């Protein structure tokens, strides 16, 4: 009798375990087949540097975690609900004025976005660039909302590609193309107006950590000047990136026009000290009274809004003869 009872209990337990396993498998299969199918109606798959993410078809609560993505989103005529900056930024970023009203600024002194604030915003899409400082942030951001990481390190900060990438994510590819076309139209206008009127060479330099840094072809401002055909090719033999130069090399710049910008407010004093030195007077642009102080955040902007501001400066300061 005891043997039969033990056998009955064994079979009963086996049946229960089997039933639970079948139910679990059935639920797992059901989830894997129905959840993506229902989600696909409300989102679309977007490829990015960290893989692929299904983002809302019409995101309403976009958060950008870098300035250049913010600029690109605004240029596409979409206003995000928030963006992140650090307290180290001193510039007012004039190309955001009148465009960023109502956007919450996630300020942080830690060097990382405030994830608590980000969570409370309840975003439905987070956009960020690929950068070592954002690698850890991505892991957390992706748990808060669909997050896309757009190439930046991979493209060496190619702002024209970035506007296309952001446009693709937001399903505004045609608008992105129109923005690049408008930039090219203005470039060609300036090229006809400046280059066709006279041969001219322009340089841009900025002061950083007390040093004078000259811009070259693959930098932001250098690329724009090169597009127009006015970039002074000086120091080109040393490479394409920006180059810090000593005061002794100043006369070698030999540009018709020199734009110069302080990185921070304190750097203005460095420029003033430089202007008081005899070697400063040897610059061709100084002799022609063609040196202009410009906004660092614009001339190093790395985004399409800043690019148009540079073109505005060129239209303002470069007089044709």
What is the reported pLDDT for 86?
66
| Distance in angstroms (rounded) separating the CA atoms of residues 213 and 243 | 5
CATH class belonging to 194-317: alpha beta
The edge-to-edge listing of strands for the beta sheet with 147-150 is 104-108, 82-86, 62-64, 125-129, 147-150
Q: Coil, helix or strand for 276?
A: coil
What is the reported pLDDT for 239?
66
Pick from 230, 222, 231: nearest CA to 190: 230
What is the reported pLDDT for 208?
84
What is the reported pLDDT for 8?
36
Angle CA 199–202–204, to nearest 5: 175
Q: End-to-end distance of the chain based on CA atoms, in angstroms? A: 115
Q: Extract the tokens encoding 33.
A: 């087949």
The segments of the chain whose pLDDT lies below 50 read: 1-38, 87-90
What is the reported pLDDT for 91?
52
Interior/surface letters 128-150, b for 16+ CB within 10 angstroms, e for the rest = bbbeeebeebbeebbebbbbbbb
Q: Give the start-end residues of each E strand in the chain.
A: 43-48, 51-56, 62-64, 82-86, 104-108, 125-129, 147-150, 202-208, 211-214, 243-245, 257-262, 291-293
Pick from 92, 124, 104, 133: nearest CA to 298: 92
| Distance in angstroms (rounded) separating the CA atoms of residues 312 and 84 | 27
Residue pair 141/126 in contact (Cβ under 8 Å)? The answer is: yes
Dihedral in degrees, nearest 10, Cα atoms 224, 228, 233, 235: -10
What is the reported pLDDT for 179?
98
CATH class belonging to 45-173: alpha beta
Residue pair 43/68 in contact (Cβ under 8 Å)? The answer is: no
What is the 8-class DSSP label of residue 194?
I
What is the reported pLDDT for 40?
56
What is the reported pLDDT for 71?
95
What is the reported pLDDT for 321?
52
What is the reported pLDDT for 237?
62
Residues of the chain within CATH 3.40.50.1980 domain(s) are 45-173, 194-317
What is the reported pLDDT for 109?
67
Residue pair 282/249 in contact (Cβ under 8 Å)? The answer is: no
What is the reported pLDDT for 234?
81
């Amino acid at each position: 009798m005891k043997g039969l009872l033990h056998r009955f209990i064994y079979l009963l337990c086996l049946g229960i375990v089997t039933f639970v396993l079948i139910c679990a498998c059935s639920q797992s299969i059901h989830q894997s087949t129905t959840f993506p199918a229902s989600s696909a109606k409300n989102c679309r798959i977007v490829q990015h540097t960290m893989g692929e993410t299904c983002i809302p078809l019409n995101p309403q609560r976009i958060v950008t975690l870098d300035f250049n993505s913010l600029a690109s989103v605004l240029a596409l005529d979409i206003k995000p609900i928030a963006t992140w900056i650090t307290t180290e930024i001193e510039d007012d970023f004039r190309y955001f004025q009148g465009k960023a009203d109502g956007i919450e600024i996630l300020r942080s002194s830690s060097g990382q976005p405030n994830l608590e604030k980000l969570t409370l915003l309840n975003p439905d899409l987070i956009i960020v660039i690929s950068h070592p400082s954002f690698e850890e942030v991505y892991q957390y951001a992706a748990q808060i909302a669909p997050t896309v990481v757009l190439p930046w390190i991979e493209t060496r900060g190619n702002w024209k590609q970035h506007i296309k990438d952001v446009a693709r994510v937001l399903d505004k590819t045609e608008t992105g193309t129109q923005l690049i076309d408008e930039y090219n139209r203005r470039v060609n206008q300036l090229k006809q107006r400046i280059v066709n009127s006279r041969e001219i060479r322009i340089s841009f330099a900025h002061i950083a950590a007390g040093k004078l840094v000259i811009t070259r072809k693959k930098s932001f401002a250098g690329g724009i000047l090169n597009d127009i055909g006015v970039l002074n090719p000086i120091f080109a033999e040393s490479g394409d990136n920006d180059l810090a130069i000593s005061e002794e090399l100043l006369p070698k710049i030999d540009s018709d026009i020199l734009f110069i910008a302080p990185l921070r407010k304190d750097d203005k004093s460095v420029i003033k000290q430089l202007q008081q030195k005899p070697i400063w007077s040897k610059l061709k642009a100084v002799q022609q009274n063609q040196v202009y102080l410009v906004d660092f955040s614009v001339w190093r902007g790395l985004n399409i809004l800043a690019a148009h501001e540079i073109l505005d400066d060129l239209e303002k300061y470069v007089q044709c003869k």
